[in-house]
Amino acid sequence: MRRKTKMIHGGITGDKETGAVSVPIYQVSTYEQAEAGKHSGFEYSRTGNPTRNALEKVIAELEEGIAGFAFGSGMAAISSVMMLLKAGDHVVFTDDVYGGSYRLMTKVLKQFGLAYSFVDTSDPELVEGAIKENTKALFIETPTNPLLKITDIAKMKEIAEQHHILFIVDNTFATPYYQLPLALGADIVVHSATKYLGGHSDVVAGLVVVNSNELAERLHFIQNSVGAILGPQDSWLLLRGIKTLALRMEAIEMNAAYLVSFLKDHPHVKKVFYPGLPTHPGYEIAKQQTAGFGGMISFDLGTASAAASLLERVKYFTLAESLGAVESLISVPAKMTHASIPRVRRQELGITDGLVRISVGIEDKEDLLEDLANGLQ
């Protein structure tokens, strides 16, 4: 099955009993057993639910992994994955990782004895240098949020393999339509399915796919023990979202390329961050490891007030956190998604007060361009 076909015919489709072409929403907590301890695969919906199961199967196929797991949010998914580690272990992270992942590590997991380093993973030497005797995992995001930095996945796999550490990739930005980290050597892929996979700003969810039966067993044990599962209704919304992922990603990317070519020459724009620009430092690697550059664009307007005045003027870009939806969104990372990162740290990372991030939607590209042009006047 090719990629687009998989999104429609992958995993479990429809309902055998009735012929329904959409997987039913199994709004149920428990299942009748034929005899005590004898059930037909489902016993209790924390452990397994048919709607969630259909979603877990399709994401596993799309990411070319062994098994998928659905959680109540991206952070629930990432937290559950981190529970594969134990007190005393050290983790190397991409430095401009999602703010929530940074907060989880530095404020929550730290209390449980996990140690960490944040490094620029676009430089393999820095990653190599950050590995310690107790390093047990490497967690990267590529492209990153909001600077769209690119990390070489195959290179990271070499390092992870050499040091026998778990290699985890947050694939939220690229989606399995454009990037397949497991095929490039990652052990685990995590997603905030709230973003492109859901795609309609109507569900909060997280997904994980693993590349081995051993990891599948361990993660299922954690999913069932901790219980941060996705409900049947939200699982169904994701199943529906995934069916149009390919169409949405293609439309979004076309719009993004159109806007980038406008922004890069605009006199009020100091710098544009987009991995599809040949001047982007990660361009060559992005071209190799991804089938598309995606729909996230960041650009620096120099000052917080310039950013604020753009936000005030645009009408088709909704001022909101989150990304990856059919509607275009705009945000100022320093004040919104990355506010939980201390200002000094943000400055070090290049997340300036004048940095604006847009998540391009599927509107007419001319309307989006006119809107930005008007806002930037």
- Which residues have a catalytic role annotated? 46, 98, 170, 195
Q: How far is the CB of 204 from ligand PLP (least distance, A)?
A: 5
* Tokens linked to 230: 């996705």
* Tokens linked to 320: 């909101």
* Tokens linked to 234: 């939200």
Q: How far is the CB of 373 from ligand PLP (least distance, A)?
A: 28
Residues comprising the chain, all counted = 377
Q: How far is the CB of 13 from ligand PLP (least distance, A)?
A: 25
| Distant-in-sequence, close-in-space partners of 74: CB < 8 Å, separation ≥ 6 | 98, 100, 172, 190, 191, 192, 193, 194, 195, 204, 205, 206
Q: How many degrees, rounded to 5, is the angle at CA 238 between CA 236 and CA 54?
A: 60
Helix 74-82 with 213-226: angle, nearest 10 deg: 110
Binding interface with ligand PLP (CB under 6 A) = 73-75, 98, 100-101, 141, 145, 170, 172-173, 192, 194-195, 204, 206
Strand, helix or coil at 3?
helix
Q: How far is the CB of 323 from ligand PLP (least distance, A)?
A: 6
Instruction: Report the residue number, 52 or 195, with the smaller CB distance to ligand PLP.
Output: 195
**Closest residue to ligand PLP, based on beta-carbon distance:** 74
Q: How many degrees, rounded to 5, is the angle at CA 119 between CA 114 and CA 120?
A: 150
Q: Per residue in 220-251, is it b (16+ CB within 10 Å) or e — as a string?
A: bebbeeeebbbbbebbbbbbbbbbbbbebbeb
Q: How far is the CB of 337 from ligand PLP (least distance, A)?
A: 8
Residues forming beta bridges with residue 356, ordered by sequence position: 299
**Cis check: omega of the bond before 281, within 30 degrees of 0:** no
* Tokens linked to 272: 């544009």
Q: How far is the CB of 105 from ligand PLP (least distance, A)?
A: 12
The span from the CA of 299 to the CA of 274, in Å, is: 9
Measure CA 368 to chain center.
Answer: 24
Instruction: Report the residue number, 49 or 172, with the smaller CB distance to ligand PLP.
Output: 172
